[in-house]
Structure 1
Amino acid sequence: MNKTESTQVPAMKMSRTDLSSQPPAELVSMLQSYPDPAVLLSADYEILSANRAYRQSYGDVSVTKRHCYEVSHHYDRPCDQMGESCPMLQCIQTSKAQRVFHLHHTPHGEEHVDVELYPVEAEDGKPRYFLEVMRYSKLASPRAGDSGLIGRSPAFMTSMALVERVAPSETTVLLLGESGTGKELMAQAVHRGSMRNHEAFVPVECSGLTETLFESELFGHEKGSFTGAHSRKTGLVEAAKGGTLFLDEVGDIPLSLQVKLLRLLETGTYRRVGGVEPLKADFRLVCATHRNLEQQVADGDFRMDLYYRINAFPIVLPSLRERITDIPLLIESLLPKFSKGRVIKVSKEALLLLQAYAFPGNIRELRNILERACLLVDDHWIEPEHLPQACRQKISASVPGALQRAKTDGSDFTQQEIIGLEQLESLYLHWALRQLGDDKALLAHKIGVSERTLYRKLKSA
């Protein structure tokens, strides 16, 4: 089964004779028909049976009689009690299929997994068993050094869950977010996950295009259609035939040109400049902008009909300051691009500064900072002095509001006050602990340290 295809699970009901502690043989046999990892679960998360693909993916060991969260997450309690979205509770309450995007442990390392859970009902209409099917994401990775999208923070996972859902369809996608958040990379991920991935991905930079250039670039032109048109030119719409057309910064298209784009999208046809023959367009549309299109519509700067035409499936990309836990991962992935064969790492002090910085330029700015730092480093460590002054002086500007109101040594510190890095780490840990209801085990898991290390840091604070 192709990853982009949705699992089709027939409605199933069990007779009273099937209500034993072990699932019926036909259900166990059905599991083997799935090429993707699949298990049958009880309502208390116990794995009753697993197919061959699941055993190969999660280790060729005895997985039955264990809980699903033990095997896939290495938790000692259900996912919803560890700050994640667990589909089981919703599935029990609604008797409807549920789908979530998770990070699973496997013998080969952690993987992003698209998880679908289906209830198997008894005669009384209540779920008796639960069929869970898992597919590894081919669009993102939680490991440094892999190609494509990299991340594991909750904000990143939320965006990727939407990408995984929409990519296999033909639905138009609108990517929203600040400049530098990686909208073109996300658009490429949508293309890779689509049925059009064997054809071209064609980006169009919409900023600064005049009316003549817009039509010529998008639709192409015929020989002699204007001065300098010495031959026929293929437009980007034609180049994207069968593939994906990516309109970057669509909010910058002048109002006078928006009607031409709308006509293309509404009719599915276009003419080359100077041509008379209508040509059929065949592309999947992905748009992106850092602008507030709703406000532009209200201000009369963007056509309402075009806005609703491209806003079929909006996805908001998180800023880098919303992905603080991804910064070490992104640094590890980016540094080899600039180190030129040298082994260069970021010191703990420099990393704390970067994690406290607001990054108005997002990932693009992080790339620039690391590239500059690699040129300044004489040994193998990027230290605070190798970072821009803005990173060193505005520590508290990006600290959560709760931290800015925190007290240390009996006095408040303000946004203008510079504090020590150990003090900053202490304040952050105590703030984060409060957000998680004083759950130290969950906090240790989320920040990627052992509970013993966390206890030591809290005790020394």
Structure 2
Amino acid sequence: MNALPQKALPEVTSLINAYRDPAILLDRHYRIVTANRAYRDAYGEGAPLGQRHCYEVSHGFSVPCDEAGEDCPLKSSLETGGPRRVLHIHHTPSGEEHVDVETHPIRNEAREIVYFLEVLRHARAASPRAGGEGLVGRSSAFNHMVELVERVAPTETAVLLLGESGTGKELVAKAVHKDSGRADGPFVPVECSGLTEGLFESELFGHEKGAFTGAHYRKTGLVEAASGGTLFLDEVGDIPLSLQVKLLRLLETGTFRPVGSVETKKADFRLVCATHRRLDEMVRDEAFREDLYYRISPFPIHLPALRERPEDVVLLADTLLQRLDRSPGYILTEEAKDCLRGYDFPGNVRELRNLLERATILADGDTLLPEHFPGVCGGERPPGRSGPLPEEIIPLRDMEHRYLRWAAAQAGEDRAALAERLGVSERTLYRKLREARTGGE
């Protein structure tokens, strides 16, 4: 296979140096051919980068990403012949970071792929480290959610956040807003559960003075308040059917009229909605308008429940303890960590925060023990599975996936030891864990 002509390499190097983000040129064997200044600053640590493998520099791996349980963009790009974009956790001198990796194949005159241009952008929506701001996590389910946030945030596409109560839907909505072109505009949340028919139009669209009894002054509606920013409709599935047509009209026309006014105003906001309900089922039951459903759901994002990301429980616990306005700095014992990993958390992150706050009150010092989590780590446990066994008969494949997620949470980061205990090779374990996290898709 012929490489690029030698005279073409300076042009490619010049292209890489034009990027503000870290960028590298890779050959088909994962070796770094050249890197721009931003990449050397972020990953060089003073050592030469030429001919080193990208997975060695970014991850500290001794094998390519796809052999270590990761989705390798270079391999995918080579297989498809097109660009590939994935979210990884990379090691940097300042610590681990979520990084959006975009890989583009480069062909020679014979149209053969000989090099890859890889651009790496720091993902601002989340942190894989304890104490990070905003969203915190590192599990595959969490990273997939962050990858979707990173993709959709720069667009104007409406986003629908789907997940159980307590999974952090407003935090994710704020992350979409902060990473968008409207970040300098307002973020306006609307709690739809409390909007009665009499309040709906007044709250959303505002009203003029004297529009109805008690309207003693002009009120700016939340739609107008969100101008230039993001309107977040939380629990949109709770809007009564009779009021959904008013929201649909706003989204279809991009205009609204305050109550008591004859003047039509133009709306200017990016829409993000959230719900814990199954809107598709509500549409089938005619409890939610089908036309409105398709207006608000062009880009759905599933927020994983805490039991779907057990690897993140201790990381989140350490982060929440740092955020609690209490001192001294609290520490979880290994026994308490094991206990929390084995709990199902029906209330998700919100329940974890409440449990930690109660534990800091019960503790006499700065060490949190299992006894400080009554009902979870000792005594009668709340409803929910404490281990991998289901409460009903399920397919064996699903049982294996559930067991593997549970075992991985118990074992922590030592995958070699886990593979030995399970009686499989590390490569087989990584493959099975990837299938368990994606449902085998």
What does residue 174 of structure 2 align with? 188
What does residue 204 of structure 1 align with? 190
**Residue pair 2:23, 2:39 contacting (<8 A) in 1 also:** yes
What are the within-5 Å matches in structure 2 for residues 258-407 of structure 1?
258-338=244-324, 340-392=326-378, 393-394=380-381, 397-401=385-389
What does residue 149 of structure 1 align with? 135
Tell me the distance in 1 between the aligned counterparts of 2:415 and 2:80.
37
Offset from partner CA, 1:175-207 (integer Å, 9 cap, x none)? 000000000000000000100000100000000
3-state SS, counterpart of residue 101 of structure 2: strand
Tell me the distance in 1 between the aligned counterparts of 2:234 and 2:205.
16
Offset from partner CA, 1:148-177 (integer Å, 9 cap, x none)? 111111111000000000000000000000
Alignment root-mean-square deviation, CA? 2.8
Deviation at 1:435, TM superposition (A): 8.0
**Residue pair 2:205, 2:259 contacting (<8 A) in 1 also:** yes
Q: Decide whether aligned partners of structure 1 residues 125 and 394 sit closer, same or farther in structure 2, where only a CA change above 3 A counts.
A: farther
Tell me the distance in 2 between the aligned counterparts of 1:435 and 1:83.
17
Q: What runs of 5+ residues in structure 1 fail to find an aligned partner?
A: 1-13, 406-421, 447-461
Tell me the distance in 1 between the aligned counterparts of 2:160 and 2:365.
44
**Letter paired with 1:254:** P
Offset from partner CA, 1:282-329 (integer Å, 9 cap, x none)? 000000000000010111100000001101100000001111111111
Offset from partner CA, 1:216-243 (integer Å, 9 cap, x none)? 1100011001111000000000000000
What does residue 85 of structure 1 align with? 71
**1:250 aligned residue (225, 230, 236):** 236
3-state SS, counterpart of residue 194 of structure 2: coil
3-state SS, counterpart of residue 230 of structure 1: coil
**Letter paired with 1:53:** A
User: Quick check: 1:166 aligned with 2:152?
Assistant: yes
Which of 73-82 and 383-392 deviates more?
383-392
What does residue 223 of structure 2 align with? 237
Tell me the distance in 1 between the aligned counterparts of 2:244 and 2:126.
33
Tell me the distance in 2 between the aligned counterparts of 1:354 and 1:317.
20
Which of 96-105 and 388-397 deviates more?
388-397
User: Quick check: 1:50 aligned with 2:38?
Assistant: no
3-state SS, counterpart of residue 18 of structure 1: coil
3-state SS, counterpart of residue 243 of structure 2: helix
Q: Decide whether aligned partners of structure 1 residues 338 and 37 sit closer, same or farther in structure 2, where only a CA change above 3 A counts.
A: closer
Name the TM-score, length of structure 1 as normaliser: 0.84
Tell me the distance in 1 between the aligned counterparts of 2:307 and 2:341.
8
User: Quick check: 1:116 aligned with 2:127?
Assistant: no
What are the within-5 Å matches in structure 2 for residues 92-131 of structure 1?
92-131=78-117
Q: What runs of 5+ residues in structure 2 fail to find an aligned partner?
A: 394-406, 434-441
Q: Decide whether aligned partners of structure 1 residues 79 and 425 sit closer, same or farther in structure 2, where only a CA change above 3 A counts.
A: closer
Q: Decide whether aligned partners of structure 1 residues 228 and 209 sit closer, same or farther in structure 2, where only a CA change above 3 A counts.
A: same
Q: Relative contact order (alpha carbons < 8 A, sep ≥ 6): 1 or 2 greater?
A: 2
Deviation at 1:123, TM superposition (A): 2.2
Detail structure 1 runs of 4+ shifted over 6 Å in the superposition.
402-405, 426-431, 440-443
Tell me the distance in 2 between the aligned counterparts of 1:431 and 1:300.
52
What does residue 438 of structure 1 align with? 425
Q: Decide whether aligned partners of structure 1 residues 436 and 43 sit closer, same or farther in structure 2, where only a CA change above 3 A counts.
A: farther
**Residue pair 1:255, 1:303 contacting (<8 A) in 2 also:** yes
Deviation at 1:391, TM superposition (A): 4.3
**Letter paired with 1:52:** R
Deviation at 1:134, TM superposition (A): 0.4
**Residue pair 1:339, 1:374 contacting (<8 A) in 2 also:** no
Tell me the distance in 2 between the aligned counterparts of 1:242 and 1:366.
35
3-state SS, counterpart of residue 132 of structure 1: strand
What are the within-5 Å matches in structure 2 for residues 410-421 of structure 1?
none
Tell me the distance in 2 between the aligned counterparts of 1:360 and 1:35.
44
Offset from partner CA, 1:41-88 (integer Å, 9 cap, x none)? 000100011111100000232011100000000000000011110011
Deviation at 1:90, TM superposition (A): 1.6
3-state SS, counterpart of residue 397 of structure 1: coil
Q: Decide whether aligned partners of structure 1 residues 161 and 27 sit closer, same or farther in structure 2, where only a CA change above 3 A counts.
A: same
Query: Once the two structures are aligned, what percentage of the paired residues are identical?
Result: 57
**Residue pair 2:371, 2:377 contacting (<8 A) in 1 also:** no
Tell me the distance in 2 between the aligned counterparts of 1:304 and 1:388.
45
Offset from partner CA, 1:20-45 (integer Å, 9 cap, x none)? 6x972211222111111000000010
Which of 335-344 and 52-61 deviates more?
335-344
**Residue pair 2:232, 2:271 contacting (<8 A) in 1 also:** yes
